[in-house]
């Protein structure tokens, strides 16, 4: 199943998030899919497996953001 997550954009003057497609792997893990636009630097790259957490954005909306998978 493909879900929408948000990945932090790096090297921006303010907090910025990119909505990305991610494949659910179960157990709260997701693999980021798609491609990074040439003019962006993402915190996590396509193919990486991440955890998620709920985040409240500056406009008050909520979404799932990618976080690093911890040690096993």
- Its pTM stands at 0.89
Q: Is residue 29 part of a domain?
A: yes
Q: In terms of residue numbers, what domain contains 43?
A: 2-67
Contact 5, 22 (CB under 8 A): yes
Q: Is residue 25 part of a domain?
A: yes
Contact 19, 37 (CB under 8 A): no
Residue 62: what pLDDT?
97
Tens digit of pLDDT for each residue in 41-62? 999 999 999 999 999 999 999 9
Q: Is residue 6 part of a domain?
A: yes
Instruction: Please name the residue that has the structure tokens 């790096």.
Output: 10
Tens digit of pLDDT for each residue in 5-47? 999 999 998 899 999 999 999 999 999 999 999 999 999 999 9
Instruction: Please name the residue that has the structure tokens 């199943």.
Output: 1
Q: How many domains does the chain have?
A: 1
């Amino acid at each position: 199943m493909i879900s929408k997550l948000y990945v932090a954009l790096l090297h921006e003057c303010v907090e910025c998030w990119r909505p990305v497609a991610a494949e659910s792997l179960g157990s709260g893990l997701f693999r980021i899919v798609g491609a990074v636009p040439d003019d962006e630097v993402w915190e996590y790259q396509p193919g990486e497996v991440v955890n998620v957490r709920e985040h409240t954005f500056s406009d008050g909306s909520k979404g799932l953001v990618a976080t690093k998978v911890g040690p096993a």
